Amino acid sequence: MPALNRDGLKIIQLDVKDVRFPTSLGSHGSDALHTDPNYSCAYVTITTENGKQGFGLTFTCGRGTEIIVLTIRALKRFVLGKNAADIFTDFASFWRAITNDSQMRWIGPEKGVIHLAVAAILNALWDLWARIENKPLWRLLVDMEPEELVSTIDFRYITDVVTKTEAVQLLKAKKSGKNERVKYLNDNGYPAYTTQVGWMGYSDELVKTLCHKYLNLGFTHFKVKVGVNFEDDYRRCSAVRNHIGNDKVLMIDANQAWSVNEAIEWVKKLAPLKPLWIEEPTSPDDVLGHATISKALRPYGIGVATGEMCANRVMFKQFLQSGGMQYCQIDSARIGSVNEILSVYIMAEKLKVKVCPHAGGIGLCEMVQHLQFWDYASLSGTMEGRLIEYVDQQHEHFVDPCIVENARYLAPKIPGYSTEFLPGTLEKYAYPNGSEWQRMFKEGIFPPPDEAELVN
């Protein structure tokens, strides 16, 4: 791609907002451990001197968003006054700088709150870059030369698995056929699965209604939450299996509910219902535990999926190398944005692990579609055994929402990373002063926040 003109691209403002939706009222998004999530995010807007803007977010479950907002404010100094063109020209060095401040790295490094904060800022920068280039993010990535794409990645800690040179070779190997794959994506989109039928707090009646709704919408893959009580799980999963039939695919997600041996025993007893994968059976940090579970469940034809809470590329490296994950669930808002996620895709490609992105959260469907589209066009070149999660919530709040038709994500067409909220959404759902939150406090639907939460 031709070099960016630096004129007007000095970053003069970075705003951050705490935005929350009252999803816990309907148990939407609930699972074994996150029993009452209010789908929320820290929402960043970056503005340049010439008025260009980039929007980025990181997903949260409600309380705690204010801590990420504070952390983003503490990281502003890495962005303000910089020229965006300089950042994009040597993105890997900028990434290293923002993730490795000599004092702040002590509160990470590259994990937890500080990495979520970094993700929101970097997501806004990628959105800005794609808007400046007037392309949807996936096309920005697809149109980059392999060397250029790889120049955005910090390879520190992963060169024992993949070097920069190998990454370039992997991308070059898929150059032929790329235009045809882009056309295929534009014409046919990318397959999706639904999690919307099986949130933990949903009644049996609602699960039945939703199974039929999503079957009618053309879905063939359905994910159900498990992990609180075995008898309930067996009953709910059997019901879903009956509703969807034996020709459709069932996945189950425990959201870290079990210890390793408990996971093995529990899932073996669900094996007659033929789940394709068990997702997050145990602690997201227990690499060898996941490998043990994978080995024990292999004879039952059940794979292990994980990644939505995988802290960074180093943890992914361990999971990918150890046989701890058969389905790699990159998340667009937990690790260090596109830069770090590309490195995970590249390691997964080299180690032959399928990537099926996680999207249960606000804005995640909007973002991960771009990444998986790029992967098909430029890296893996295949959709076999791969799907993008689809969670049917809060899309109406985005300027450029993802569109899923006949169980396929349609190719995003509008410039950017699809991360911009509508102005009315911020007016209503900014926390705690948005008009909807003020109404809900007044009506006693939620208690107002206590002192500690009022950092905004």
Tokens linked to 100: 């490795």
Size of the site for ligand LWAPGFLV (CB under 6 A): 13
| Minimum separation from the CB atom of position 169 to Mg ion (A) | 33
Size of the site for Mg ion (CB under 5 A): 2
By CB under 5 A, residue 389 contacts Mg ion = no
Kindly tell me which of 279 and 340 has the beta carbon lying closer to ligand LWAPGFLV. Answer: 279
By CB under 6 A, residue 61 contacts ligand LWAPGFLV = yes
| CB neighbour class for 273 (10 Å; exposed up to 12, middle 13-18, buried from 19) | middle
* CB neighbour list of residue 81: distance below 8 Å, 6 or more residues apart: 10, 11, 12
Nearest of 359, 369, 361 to residue 413 by alpha carbon: 369
**Whole-angstrom distance, CA of residue 129 vs CA of residue 392:** 28
String of contacts with ligand LWAPGFLV for each residue 315-354, x by CB under 6 A: ----------------------------------------
- Helix, coil or strand: residue 249: strand
By CB under 5 A, residue 253 contacts Mg ion = yes
DSSP secondary structure letter of residue 26: G
Tokens linked to 422: 């509508």
Kindly tell me which of 27 and 83 has the beta carbon lying closer to ligand LWAPGFLV. Answer: 27
Phi, psi angle pair for 375, to nearest 5°: -55, -45
Q: Catalytic positions, please? A: 225, 358
| Minimum separation from the CB atom of position 273 to ligand LWAPGFLV (A) | 18
Counted residue by residue, the chain has a size of: 456
Nearest of 248, 292, 293 to residue 268 by alpha carbon: 293
| Minimum separation from the CB atom of position 135 to ligand LWAPGFLV (A) | 28
Kindly tell me which of 124 and 391 has the beta carbon lying closer to ligand LWAPGFLV. Answer: 391
By CB under 6 A, residue 38 contacts ligand LWAPGFLV = no
- Could you give the C-alpha distances from 18 to 9, 10, 37, 152, 362, in angstroms and in order? 26, 25, 15, 28, 13
| Minimum separation from the CB atom of position 224 to ligand LWAPGFLV (A) | 11
Tokens linked to 87: 């950042």
Burial track 300-318 (b if 16+ CB lie within 10 A, e otherwise): bebbbbbbbbbbbbbbbbb
**Whole-angstrom distance, CA of residue 78 vs CA of residue 455:** 21
String of contacts with ligand LWAPGFLV for each residue 250-289, x by CB under 6 A: ---x-x----------------------------------
Kindly tell me which of 41 and 128 has the beta carbon lying closer to ligand LWAPGFLV. Answer: 41
- Helix, coil or strand: residue 373: helix
Q: Contacts with ligand LWAPGFLV in 190-229 (CB under 6 A)?
A: 195
By CB under 5 A, residue 66 contacts Mg ion = no
By CB under 5 A, residue 286 contacts Mg ion = no
* CB neighbour list of residue 72: distance below 8 Å, 6 or more residues apart: 14, 16, 42, 44, 117, 120, 121
Of the listed pieces 29-37, 136-144, 182-190, 414-422, which binds ligand LWAPGFLV according to CB under 6 A? 29-37
Q: Evaluate the CA torsion angle 385, 252, 217, 420 in order and state its sign.
A: negative
By CB under 6 A, residue 358 contacts ligand LWAPGFLV = yes
| Minimum separation from the CB atom of position 306 to Mg ion (A) | 8
Judged by the rule CB under 6 A, the positions of this chain that interact with ligand LWAPGFLV are 29, 31, 34, 37, 61, 195, 253, 255, 308, 358, 360, 389, 391
Judged by the rule CB under 5 A, the positions of this chain that interact with Mg ion are 253, 279
